[in-house]
Amino acid sequence: MTLTAVDLRSIEFPKRFRGYDRAEVDSFLKTLADELEEKDRELAELRSRASRLETELTEFRNLEASLQEVLMTAQKTAEDTRMNSVKEAELLLREAQLKGEELIAKTQESLSGIKRELVELHQLRANYVMQFRGMIDSHRSMLEELERLQEGARHLRFVKKADSAEAQALRAAEPIEALKQRLDE
């Protein structure tokens, strides 16, 4: 049975002869009732405080759960961001490698083309050198032939002049010969 301060104040004991001193019993009951009231007030305050603390605890637990959720979300976001960064870095690296390989291939192809052109230019140069040497040899032969022909022409002119002079001398000598023959006759 639970007693309250009101129960203690309203309780009545049967009266007997030679019983307890009524004033002392009433005083004791009043003191008990006052203490019980005080304890009830303290208990009510403690319950109220416990209720507030439970509410705060619930709020803190909810806050903790929210913070845990935020932390988990932040960790997941950080991990996702890290993974995305790693993937993006790998993708950029792969693209750079592909571009590098493509650039190397183009450079090698260009270098091969330049080497082919260089070989062709060397061959073309060699052909031109041979053609020029052939032309020089041909012109040298032509010059030598021209010199020989000029020498022959000079010789012919000389011979022709000599023949012409001899013919003139013979013509000039004809009257003398004729005269000589006449004289001999």
Split into its structural domains, the chain has a count of 1
**Neighbouring C-beta atoms of residue 5, cutoff 10 Å:** 19
Task: Give the pLDDT confidence score for residue 1 in this predicted structure.
Answer: 52
| pTM assigned to the model | 0.41
Q: Which domain holds residue 90?
A: 5-175+177-181
* Pairwise CA distance, residues 94 & 100, whole Å: 10
pLDDT in tens, 30-82: 888 888 888 889 999 999 999 999 999 999 999 999 999 999 999 999 999 99
Q: What is the DSSP string of the chain?
A: ----HHHHHH--PPP-TT---HHHHHHHHHHHHHHHHHHHHHHHHHHHHHHHHHHHHHHHHHHHHHHHHHHHHHHHHHHHHHHHHHHHHHHHHHHHHHHHHHHHHHHHHHHHHHHHHHHHHHHHHHHHHHHHHHHHHHHHHHHHHHHHHHHHHHHHHHHHHHHHHHHHHHHHHHHHHHHHHHHH-
95 pLDDT above the threshold of 90: yes
- Interacting residues of 33 by C-beta distance below 8 A, sequence separation 6+: 5, 6, 8, 9
181 pLDDT above the threshold of 70: yes
pLDDT in tens, 131-176: 999 999 999 999 999 888 888 888 777 777 777 777 777 676 677 6
